[in-house]
Structure 1
């Protein structure tokens, strides 16, 4: 993590007002939350849901080495090391930007409508077989999280994998300019955040902002099956020195699968290099996340042996096709971190292809942030679910009722049910589920389906 003198920090954040008696004092790490602050941290009070300046004294009480203070905020504490800045969020970003420029680490930036967290985890698992590697923890992928991730990097880190998320235009541009990736990647373009972006075309343009800070002699890896990305790239001025790699289904791409097989334990696939790869996680859609990861690994000159072993030992962030075997003998697949029509269809398809289970139960929550056509997207989801391939469907939330309404005529009446309460949903599932069944949970993060999962494990 960052370790600097306060005089250095003052310069890096473009601050002022630090008493010279504190110039040589050292900070170790950065915190924006007193609940997780460690002694020696620099505390940065963020103006977000709450005013972080209200917690500066608490930060010092917990051992903070110094704090920033936004100049327009009244009553700064006295007798402690304070650096004044115009805006604390901008200061955090400036600190991360300058620290990144002082590192020799290779940076891999990953964005996309779906799959970016899983791909980040895959790349980390592969790259850490060869290099000292760090990655974005949890969902620290935005205007606060990415700078904090950068500031957590050890100075001898050789490769860092940074996830980049967005809700609005300009956000990926900011993150890319801070991180200055050497390898940039777009997993795919879906309709997540279409309520704020307006169209898939706008989403594609926003994701391509990752090229803004990309090393002009670096590498850009993207899903070549997406026409919107191909079309937008033809309009952009791309440095001749930039290496571009496409992956996807088409044999016209640099990387594509020639065969895929799924078992209860994971997915096996053969790439166009004729090599066989194994990923110990469910979902054929994850093959493309793995292929993108393989492409990045090869750019870093990682051996084929290490690529394969890294993929096989991957540890996926929770709630991404997470398989949980319960004491009562049934299996839960928790894929409830987020949901879009693309990812929900993929999860349902994965369920239909599983073998070795007595019955298959699907629990679906609302897909949020889908804009004016949100009802139609849910109706279409109901149309793709077939009785026989799935035995029970339970839905929860206002929008997901559109899914269950599509199923009543095609499923036995006791096999489809809509719920408003998560407590009632959990109680009903417990009364239905039996040993050797498998149950999928899929919905947007705001639905908090993990609460139901926790009651069943």
Structure 2
């Protein structure tokens, strides 16, 4: 974090010092009392005041609160600044701190590929630059605020992954973290239960675009219908397209599977480059194209990026290919699940199981609201189109997929509707051998940890 003077902080937050300590410079920011360290700024956001034992041993620090009288008796070198509303003061502080930084920032969102694309951009840039980025998939407000406040004068790039969370979340992110460049991986079917319809969900995602200043590039997927619609209200010169379509500024073509990943031809500014990403599926090529577009726009030459991309470490549980039971091959895609990612996973299973037996094990999709039945039926049709040798579903909602696949023409004797992971495991153990490739496609929201460990023969 950049060092900040307490006097500047008081002025910026329109605060009043009600208890004065000797601390004049702030070195870090936290929102939990247990994380307070010497020289720390602590925003007291919790509804309950800190317990007495939590404040007795506090080091020299500054506390921001709208209710100083609710604090327990304080000892030591502690400054207390009273503000009108603590949470509003915290958001104002973040926006102020962002303005103090000249660091280029990239904000990434979408229904799929957010974490992979963010990790790719980070990986492509970190070889020669100091990068701060969202950790893993911790893409909600508090975690990203921590990323921002850890940036300083030595930070070259900031990369944020933003999920939609609840309504208003992305608007709050725009207020506190902009200006930034925006990358939307694509909009699919997700969180409908929370937003009421696919259209409203897409509109919620589009709110992030308000954080892009007039001079900030916006990276959009040329194969995403929603992104095409977003583009109509954006200045054409601000948009940079990536994908496999002809209009893409960073276009992938001649895409092929290999034993280690995907090869493709990248076309940009009428030049062609041979590229490789050590991950499987057309969607991984799209993720790579988006990451290349962003990193190249940030100033790294394409040849360097493509060389770096060859060593990108695939993410765990994102189409991770490992050894499975009885010598089988396991494709673990159990991080998250929606119709777009299921279609991509089924395509990878089809390709990786050529000449072998294939088993697709699918769990239910969450937060679909009134679209639940229709969306599961749509996935049933995707299953039929990709024709795995056997289909195993887990849960009653997932059984809708199985029944639809049979209705479309999949052989009923190759379809198994299981009520529990334990029953599915019994079937997999029966089918798995060294000539079998098994896809596990479930959501991290469901408790399949033990199930996956058994399939990987880790227990």
Shorter-chain TM-score bucket reads 0.7 to 0.9
Return the offset for 1:266.
1.1
Task: Give the structure 1 partner of residue 367 of structure 2.
Answer: 369
Return the offset for 1:43.
4.2
What CA distance in whole angstroms lies between the structure 2 residues aligned with 1:328 and 1:65?
Answer: 58
* Number of residue pairs aligned between Structure 1 and Structure 2: 448
CA contact (8 A) 1:139 1:145 kept: no
Gaps of at least 5 residues in structure 1 are none
1:159 aligns with 2:157: yes
What CA distance in whole angstroms lies between the structure 2 residues aligned with 1:59 and 1:126?
Answer: 43
What CA distance in whole angstroms lies between the structure 1 residues aligned with 2:149 and 2:160?
Answer: 12
Task: Give the structure 1 partner of residue 347 of structure 2.
Answer: 349
Task: Give the structure 2 partner of residue 450 of structure 1.
Answer: 449
Structure 2 CA distance for partners of 1:392 and 1:207, relative to 1, 3 Å:
same
CA contact (8 A) 2:36 2:42 kept: no
What CA distance in whole angstroms lies between the structure 2 residues aligned with 1:11 and 1:65?
Answer: 18
Task: Give the structure 2 partner of residue 284 of structure 1.
Answer: 282
CA contact (8 A) 2:357 2:437 kept: yes
Structure 1 residues 101-116: aligned runs within 5 Å: 101-116=99-114
What CA distance in whole angstroms lies between the structure 2 residues aligned with 1:25 and 1:56?
Answer: 26
Structure 1 residues 45-124: aligned runs within 5 Å: 45-47=44-46, 51=47, 53-54=49-50, 57-58=53-54, 61=57, 65-71=61-67, 74-79=70-75, 81=78, 82-124=80-122
CA contact (8 A) 1:186 1:223 kept: yes
Residue-by-residue CA offset, 1:211-239 (whole Å, 9 max, x unaligned): 32213212111123334333343345x4x
Structure 2 CA distance for partners of 1:423 and 1:155, relative to 1, 3 Å:
farther
What CA distance in whole angstroms lies between the structure 1 residues aligned with 2:37 and 2:328?
Answer: 45
What CA distance in whole angstroms lies between the structure 1 residues aligned with 2:109 and 2:43?
Answer: 26
CA contact (8 A) 2:28 2:149 kept: no
Return the offset for 1:290.
1.1
SS, match of residue 94 in structure 2: helix
What CA distance in whole angstroms lies between the structure 2 residues aligned with 1:206 and 1:217?
Answer: 23
What CA distance in whole angstroms lies between the structure 2 residues aligned with 1:56 and 1:11?
Answer: 29
Task: Give the structure 2 partner of residue 259 of structure 1.
Answer: 254
CA contact (8 A) 2:56 2:75 kept: no
SS, match of residue 381 in structure 1: helix
What CA distance in whole angstroms lies between the structure 1 residues aligned with 2:381 and 2:27?
Answer: 57
CA contact (8 A) 1:69 1:85 kept: yes
What CA distance in whole angstroms lies between the structure 1 residues aligned with 2:424 and 2:87?
Answer: 41
Return the offset for 1:377.
1.0
What CA distance in whole angstroms lies between the structure 2 residues aligned with 1:335 and 1:142?
Answer: 22
Task: Give the structure 2 partner of residue 139 of structure 1.
Answer: 137
Return the offset for 1:27.
4.0
CA contact (8 A) 1:167 1:197 kept: no
What CA distance in whole angstroms lies between the structure 2 residues aligned with 1:60 and 1:348?
Answer: 57
Task: Give the structure 1 partner of residue 376 of structure 2.
Answer: 378
CA contact (8 A) 2:283 2:344 kept: yes
**Cα RMSD (Å):** 3.1
Structure 2 CA distance for partners of 1:399 and 1:2, relative to 1, 3 Å:
farther
Structure 2 CA distance for partners of 1:171 and 1:284, relative to 1, 3 Å:
same
